[in-house]
Amino acid sequence: GAVVSQHPSRVICKSGTSVKIECRSLDFQATTMFWYRQFPKQSLMLMATSNEGSKATYEQGVEKDKFLINHASLTLSTLTVTSAHPEDSSFYICSAPPGGAGTDTQYFGPGTRLTVL
C-alpha cells in the first residue's frame, strides 16, 4: 500500500507556543490530504481538507486561524497549531488518497501525539 509519514511523532510544548506537524506522501502524489484529530478512546474526527495550491477547507467548529494548513507541494501538507493550549492536546493524524480512477482508499500517517503543558 501507499506510504504516508508524519513528523514529529511526538511533541511536548508550553502553552502559547506554536507547533508544526508535517505530513508527507512518500511514494505517490496527493493533491488532497486530510487532517484528523483523535482524543483518547474516541474515533477520528475530520478537521480539515488540505488542497495543493489552494486554501484548506475546515469542518464546522474547527478554527481556521488556530489550525493553519499549508499544502505546499504534491507530497507535503503541514498543520500548524498556533498559540497551543492544553485542550489542544490530542493525537493528530493525516491521510491521503493515492487517487486513480475508481479508488478512494485513504492511507494514514502514523500520527503525532501533541501534549501542551
Sketch the per residue contact string, 35 through 64, with another protein: x for CB under 8 A, - otherwise: -------xxxxx--x---------------
Tell whether residue 73 is a contact of another protein (CB under 8 A).
no
Tell whether residue 107 is a contact of another protein (CB under 8 A).
yes
The label of the residue with cell 479508488 reads 103
Beta bridge partners of 7: 22
Tell whether residue 32 is a contact of another protein (CB under 8 A).
yes
- The number of beta carbons lying within 10 Å of the beta carbon of residue 22 is 15
The label of the residue with cell 506537524 reads 21
Q: In this chain, which of 7, 20, 66, 113 binds another protein, going by CB under 8 A?
A: 113
